[in-house]
Structure 1
Amino acid sequence: MNGVEVARRAITGITGREPAEVRPVGGGDTAAAFAVRFADGSSAFAKWAPEKMPGAIDAEAASLEWLAEPGVAAVPAVHGHDSSWLVTEFVPSTRPTETAAAGLGAALARLHASGAEAFGAAPPGGPADAWIGLAPMRNEPTADWPHFYARHRIEPYLRSAVERGAIDRDGAAVISRVCDELDDLAGPAEPPARLHGDLWSGNVRWGERAWLIDPAAHGGHRETDLAMLQLFGCPQLDHVLTAYQEVSPLADGWRERVGLHQLFPLLVHAVLFGGGFGAQAVAAARSALAAR
């Protein structure tokens, strides 16, 4: 049985509707993905996660539902899922506009302000052991952000990056120093924000408004989402940040803390892809220490 037929059967089982068309599309590095059309002309999107990623579909479904719950950000509706397949609303993509970017900034500000139970809290119904891309990610409620960020977002990936040779001993010492000094580096204390959690520019779909897709949601620091959005370049970024600030101004010094918050996704990339990401992570750690 080919992949399209497997997808067709899974979609039918989950939605109770027989697709008229199932077409493979790009789905990132974590899954097989399919555009779906039903006989009535409506559409959907389906993705599959392999057995080597247990809990990935449950985590994403819970993330999407949690981000959608406040009604402030555009998030694809979840039509249904099982342990291997997720079926959601299909979101087409067009060119980004200033209006959509400003809307994204305002929506993110309100989404973050919707809050979370704790730093490191998983979405309601979501597993503690989740994923960011192909890397496992632990969501563990923690009393304060510096402790959470060091223990669950820096240290596990630093260990793996060192084991894989992506970061040498000297670089690891710099990053460990960041963990030791996070109380001084973190800036003013803030309540836990409701984060998308993997907000690089590829997880924003542009249309009349901007949609948030492929989340790794959890309770965290709002500057982490914004720093990740800046990491690989985001269209109309200035309009996103300006609109965010108009709704919910960021604490003084936030620009100097961008490297601190980019340290987590850079370490994830160092673990997954090696190359220059280890060096970039060390550079981000040095910038965080220098910005104090």
Structure 2
Amino acid sequence: MVSGQQSEGPAAAAARLSGFEAVPQGRSGTLSEVVLTKGDRRVDAVVKRGHAPGATRAEAAGLRWLAEADAVRIPRVHGADDTWLVLDRVSESTPSHAEEFGRNLARLHSAGAPAFGAPPPGGLTDAWIGTAPMRNSPGESWPEWYAEHRVLPYVRIASDLLDPAVFERACARIPSMAGPPEPPARLHGDLWSGNVLWDSDGAVLIDPAAHGGHRETDLAMLHLFGCPHLERIVAAYDEVAPLADGYRERIALHQLFPLLVHTVLFGRSYAGQATAAARSLG
């Protein structure tokens, strides 16, 4: 880290990382709005301060990887280091273009990943989903990888709130419940409704925990936390990349991951939901 970066303000960080002049416009928590200018160019931008060293650099790598698919719209990254991230600001509007989002999400997933658990190029093995740890360790078989890296680590962290035996039994059932094998998809990785912003042109994805995974995990997050026009989104997705038979019966399986993450982050209120999802697997 360059000396003094920890104490600099968001506008100064935005100017340093983007090469533009930066004028502050307002601040809320870890997010600050700035206007970037260079000659006749003007960009409304957001400056984000990371919760841990490297978190913003990892998020920038995920945003760029998702953007490379040229599918769902992703805010442009103007610069990032281990403390700060500068990206386009989304001017939010009424949710619209739901079918377009569904089709584009299918294309994003179809862009693929080298392996289950593969981090984005330039991303980190030890990364985060929100402020919870998330290890990007590649694996070849999704059922085993999902149990080892997306279920059991969070059960261990929250073992005071959970009965590990319930989740161990659920993990033993994953191979028989996973459906037909699928190639690794390019996942957003934290696709709850708050990370799907809508402007006048449709959906824009922010705050990824991007990695290679099963495409149904992203869709399960949308089902878990709600999303405007969800049935229209899924129907349009299915037209472009048909979902395997039994997709809806597997939603609880894929929701184990976000429910356990939320148990780690927010405690007992999610522990019961995670346990119910695990028990529903038999």
Q: TM-score, normalised by structure 1?
A: 0.90
1:35 to 7, 14, 33: 33
Deviation at 1:177, TM superposition (A): 0.7
2:140 to 140, 143, 150: 143
Match in the other structure for 1:58: 57
1:24 partnered with 2:37: no
Structure 1 residue 185: Cα displacement: 1.4
Gaps of 5+ in 1: 27-31
Q: Does 2:227 match 1:234?
A: yes
Counterpart amino acid of 2:46?
A: F
The reply on whether 1:197 has 2:189 as its aligned counterpart is: yes
Could you tell me whether the CA contact under 8 Å between 1:132 and 1:198 is conserved in 2?
A: yes
Q: What is the rounded CA distance, in whole Å, between the counterparts of 1:22 and 1:137 in structure 2?
A: 33
1:207-286 to 2 correspondences below 5 Å = 207=199, 208-286=201-279
Name the Cα RMSD after superposition: 1.7
What secondary structure sits across from 1:136 in the alignment? strand
- Judged with a 3 Å threshold, the aligned counterparts in structure 2 of structure 1 residues 229 and 4 are, in CA distance, closer, same or farther, namely farther
- The 8 Å contact of residues 109 and 244 in structure 1, kept in 2 or not, is answered as yes
**CA distance in structure 1 between the partners assigned to 2:165 and 2:8 by the alignment:** 51
CA shift at 1:127, angstroms? 0.8
Paired residue for 2:50? 49
Cα distance in structure 2, aligned partners of 1:284 and 1:134: 23
Q: What does residue 128 of structure 2 align with?
A: 131
Instruction: State the percentage of identical aligned residues.
Output: 54
C-alpha contact (below 8 Å) 1:63/1:126 kept by paired residues:
yes
Whole-angstrom CA distance in 2 between matches of 1:277 and 1:60: 25
Report the alpha carbon displacement of residue 242 of structure 1 after superposing the two structures with TM: 0.7
Q: CA deviation at 1:249?
A: 0.8
Write the letter of the residue equivalent to 1:113.
Answer: S
Q: Deviation at 1:4?
A: 11
Amino acid in structure 2 at the alignment position of 1:182: I
- After TM superposition, give the deviation of residue 38 of structure 1 in Å: 3.1
Aligned length: 274
* 1:181 to partner: Cα distance: 2.1
Separation in 2 of the partners of 1:138 and 1:252?
30
One-letter identity of the residue aligned with 1:55: G
Aligned residues of 2:186 and 2:212 also touching (Cα < 8 A): yes
Give the gaps of 5 or more residues in structure 2.
none
**Residue 13 of structure 1 corresponds to which residue in structure 2?**
16
Q: State the shift of 1:79 in Å.
A: 0.6
Q: SS at the partner of 1:181?
A: helix
Task: Write the mapping of 1:156-195 to structure 2, written as runs, cut at 5 A.
Answer: 156-162=153-159, 165-167=160-162, 169=163, 172-195=164-187
Do the aligned residues in 2 keep the contact of 1:166 with 1:271 (CA within 8 Å)?
Answer: no
Scaled by the length of structure 2, the TM-score of the pair is 0.93
Aligned to 2:88: 89
